[in-house]
Amino acid sequence: MNVFALDWYLIALIMFIGFYCMLASRSIVRQLVGLEIVSKAAMLALISAGALTNNLVYAQAILITMIVIEVVVVATGLALLVKNFRLHGAADIWNLDSLKG
């Protein structure tokens, strides 16, 4: 079996796990963890693409930029989480229902 086929099988699996985690959990913290798993799958896809096309240098450059962005995104997500916890006293996603119509 081609090693890259296995790569992409695992990437699809990890991505599915991440989306399932986001769908099935009520806590914002767990949703954030699920989001992280999804973006890790995207990163693995990039590495695998770089290795497959013998272009690892390019993939590496892209990946490092992506990790930096990832850090900023996680920081923003945690900031939102903390602010929400201060306002509502809970991290339950179902409490977020004041805006509707």
Partner 1 sequence: MDKGLLAYLLIPLFTAVLIPFIARNRPRLADIFANVTLLAGLVNLLWLALRPSVIAGGFADIPGDALSLLLVAAVYLVGLCVTFFSAYFMEEGLPNRQAYYSLILTSIAAMTGVVTTGDFFTLYVFIEVLAVTSFALITTDDSAGGIEGAIKYFFLTFPASALIMVGIAIFMISLGSLSFDSLRVYMSSDMPDGPVVFASALIMLGFLIKSGVVPFHAWTPDAYQGSYAPVSAHLAGIVTKISGVYAVVKLATLLRFFDGRAQALSELVMFLGLLSIAVGAIAALRQTSFKRMLAFSSISQVGYIVLAAGLGTPLAIMGAVFHLINHATFKTTLFLNSASLEKAAGTTDMDKLGGMEHAMPWTSWTSVIALLSTAGVPPLSGFWSKLLIILALWESGLKTYAVLALLFSIVTLAYFMIMQRKVFFGRKSPAAERSSEVSAPLLAPAVLMCGVIVALGLLFPYFYQYVKVVAERIIL
User: What would the 3-class secondary structure string for the chain be?
Assistant: CCHHHHHHHHHHHHHHHHHHHHHHCCEHHHHHHHHHHHHHHHHHHHHHHHHHCCCHHHHHHHHHHHHHHHHHHHHHHHHHHHHHHHHHCCCEHHHCCCCCC
User: Does 73 contact partner 1 by CB under 8 A?
Assistant: yes
Touching partner 1, residues 21-40 (CB under 8 A)? 22, 28, 31, 35, 38-39
Closer CB to partner 1, residue 6 or residue 15?
Answer: 15
Distance CA 31, CA 28 (A): 5
Smallest gap, in angstroms, from Cβ of residue 2 to partner 1?
Answer: 13
Choice from 29, 53, 60, 67 touching partner 1 (CB under 8 A): 53
Q: Which two tokens stand for residue 56?
A: 């690892």
Binding site for partner 1 (CB under 8 A): 11, 15, 18-19, 22, 28, 31, 35, 38-39, 41-43, 45-46, 48-50, 52-53, 55, 58-59, 62, 65-66, 69, 72-73, 76-77, 80-81, 83-84, 87-88, 93, 96, 98-99, 101
